[in-house]
Amino acid sequence: MKPETVCVQAGYSPKNGEPRVLPVYQSTTFKYDSSDAMGDLFDLKAEGFFYTRLANPTADAPEKKLAALEGGVGCMLTSSGQAASLVSVLNIAGAGDHIISSASIYGGTYNLFYKTLAQMGIETTFVPCTSTAAELEKYFRPNTKCVFGETLSNPSLDILDIEEFANAAHAHHVPLIVDNTFPTPINCRPFDFGADIVVHSTSKYLDGHAVALGGAIIDSGKFDWKSGNFPMLTEPDDSYHGVTYTDTFGSAAFIVKARAHLMRDLGPAPAPMNAFLLNLGMETLALRMRQHCANARKVADYLVSRMKGDGAVTWVNYPDLPDNPNHRLCEKYLPNGSSGVVSFGVRGGREAATKFMDSVKLAAVVTHVADARTSLLHPASTTHRQLSDEQLKECGVTPDLIRFSVGIENADDIIADIEQALNKAAE
Ligand SMILES: *Cc1c(COP(=O)(O)O)cnc(C)c1O
């Protein structure tokens, strides 16, 4: 099935007389006729639902849909994107281990790695997202457990050279984990370029309407865990009756362990209602992404016209633009469009940027990004304000950067709003 069809149809197939639309199973638990029947579930011998922390039918449907869209063997939803990033790393790394991460990543992920993982004894080396496989060589250590990057980084809109990062990781028998939040599987499928694990903040385009926080981890099923680097997957888990994930679950070892071990112990489970909203949102994902990208291109072209014309805009970053430094990577990894997010600078620096923010009418100043309604944010004074100038630079965020998330309204109305706000900022 093609992506548009998968968005609508995958994950839930009602049987005779069952509800046509995925129901919200608003229940923490599930009833069985005998202890033995339930015991088989606990032993991972039978498939079924018993407690919503571990699995729930309303989450199961969008999990199957996302796995199908990304081309993976399994998916686990989490309560937020942050939880998905954390669990994806903790599933294969612990105290004394090391990971390599692209520096062009979401500020929340940067803090998670820089601060919290460090406190847990996992050290992160941040590297330029444009590194080649050869350049990445020097960062690997004997205790390196994974490489992490973001397909299209929030908010700097840098594009990860997935193939280079995957080649470097695989040469050292470790997986590449890619945060694919901004492009969504409609615009890029990282597994097609060698990534092994994909994570998402479903709070963004996947839900699409800014109604439910959520995250997801998808396993390609392609990574060979048996190099000796991952005893947590290839040796018996004494907390799960001695199960050896690679022996029992084969290509789905990683994603089964994420659920059976970490969801069990840490518990960042999605609420059934949020899973329902995610599933509903994803039905229109392919349609929405086309409109987001078409609108964003028009907005970017308008901003460039102001840059080249009266200079009210000082720079424009949209990877689809032919003279963008990321354009070559955009053509390779995001040929159908990058996303609806455009960033730019307003003439007059931080002060003019603030005036612009205060003057928009249709666009809303919100922390959120990547949903149906046009919104904007000034990262340096909000999401990234805890980072030093040095760290900001590493993440590709300048003090005058406005992150503009183009919605699915009519592009003419969005551009008219930008025009009047630019005029006010120039006063
Ligand atoms: C928002 C975001 C996250 C964090 O997701 P939450 O759902 O807010 O926890 C992670 N990665 C990227 C790229 C994001 O945009």
Quick one: which H or E segment has residue 147?
strand 144-150
In contact, 187 and 362? CB cutoff 8 Å: no
> Using a 6 Å cutoff on CB, does residue 104 contact ligand 1?
no
> Using a 6 Å cutoff on CB, does residue 215 contact ligand 1?
yes
Residue range 230-273, pLDDT digits in tens: 999 999 999 988 999 999 999 999 999 999 999 999 999 999 99
Looking at residue 100, its pLDDT comes to 98
Fold of 8-282: Aspartate Aminotransferase; domain 2 (3.40.640)
- For residue 406, which of 380, 378, 374 has the smallest C-alpha distance? 374
> Using a 6 Å cutoff on CB, does residue 181 contact ligand 1?
yes
Strands of the 74-78 sheet, one edge to the other: 74-78, 215-219, 197-201, 176-179, 144-150, 98-102, 123-127
- Is residue 375 predicted with pLDDT exceeding 80? yes
Distances (CA, A) of 15 to 56, 60, 318: 18, 16, 46
56 phi/psi in degrees, rounded to 5? -150, 140
- Is residue 292 predicted with pLDDT exceeding 80? yes
Residue 358, token pair as written in the block? 């205060």
Residue range 155-191, pLDDT digits in tens: 889 999 999 999 999 999 999 999 999 999 999 999 9
Going by alpha carbons, the residue nearest to atom 1 of ligand 1 is 201
Residue 394, token pair as written in the block? 């590493």
- Is residue 394 predicted with pLDDT exceeding 90? no
Q: Give SS3 for 128.
A: coil
Q: In whole angstroms, what is the distance from residue 136 CA to residue 163 CA?
A: 12
Query: What's the gap in Å between 64 CA and the centre of ligand 1?
Result: 21
What is the pTM for the complete model shown?
A: 0.96
Looking at residue 400, its pLDDT comes to 81
Q: In whole angstroms, what is the distance from residue 226 CA to residue 311 CA?
A: 57
> Using a 6 Å cutoff on CB, does residue 184 contact ligand 1?
no
Residue 245, token pair as written in the block? 């994930």
Query: What's the gap in Å between 352 CA and the centre of ligand 1?
Result: 28
pLDDT band at 356 (very low <50, low <70, confident <90, very high): very high
Looking at residue 53, its pLDDT comes to 97
Q: In whole angstroms, what is the distance from residue 355 CA to residue 350 CA?
A: 9
Q: In whole angstroms, what is the distance from residue 207 CA to residue 272 CA?
A: 14
Which conformational region is residue 387 in: left (phi greater than 0), alpha (psi within -120 to 50 degrees), or beta?
beta
Looking at residue 395, its pLDDT comes to 66
In contact, 347 and 314? CB cutoff 8 Å: yes
Going by alpha carbons, the residue nearest to atom 8 of ligand 1 is 81
Residue range 122-143, pLDDT digits in tens: 999 999 998 999 999 999 999 9
- Is residue 144 predicted with pLDDT exceeding 70? yes
Single-letter amino acid code for the residue at 18: E
What is the rounded average pLDDT of the residues 61-80? 98
What is the rounded average pLDDT of the residues 96-117? 96
Q: In whole angstroms, what is the distance from residue 334 CA to residue 192 CA?
A: 12
Query: What's the gap in Å between 213 CA and the centre of ligand 1?
Result: 9
Looking at residue 136, its pLDDT comes to 98
Length of the chain: 427
Residue range 309-342, pLDDT digits in tens: 999 999 999 999 999 999 999 999 999 999 999 9
Q: In whole angstroms, what is the distance from residue 161 CA to residue 399 CA?
A: 26
pLDDT band at 147 (very low <50, low <70, confident <90, very high): very high
Query: What's the gap in Å between 198 CA and the centre of ligand 1?
Result: 13
Single-letter amino acid code for the residue at 315: W
What is the rounded average pLDDT of the residues 361-383? 91
> Using a 6 Å cutoff on CB, does residue 109 contact ligand 1?
yes
First and final C-alpha spacing in the chain: 53
- Is residue 60 predicted with pLDDT exceeding 90? yes
Q: In whole angstroms, what is the distance from residue 424 CA to residue 322 CA?
A: 29
- For residue 123, which of 107, 106, 140 has the smallest C-alpha distance? 140
In contact, 127 and 136? CB cutoff 8 Å: yes
Atom of ligand 1 nearest to the CA of 214: 7
Q: Give SS3 for 135.
A: helix
Is the CATH code 3.90.1150.10 the one for domain 286-425? yes
Going by alpha carbons, the residue nearest to atom 12 of ligand 1 is 106
What is the rounded average pLDDT of the residues 49-64? 96
Instruction: Name the pairing type of β-strands 215-219 and 197-201.
Output: antiparallel
Looking at residue 380, its pLDDT comes to 75
CA atoms within 13 A on the CB side of 49: 18
pLDDT band at 48 (very low <50, low <70, confident <90, very high): confident
Instruction: Please tell me the least confidently modeled range out of 55-59, 225-229, 390-394.
Output: 390-394
Residue range 215-234, pLDDT digits in tens: 999 999 999 999 999 999 99
47 phi/psi in degrees, rounded to 5? -95, 140
Looking at residue 118, its pLDDT comes to 98
Listed by start position, the domains of the chain span: 8-282, 286-425
> Using a 6 Å cutoff on CB, does residue 179 contact ligand 1?
yes
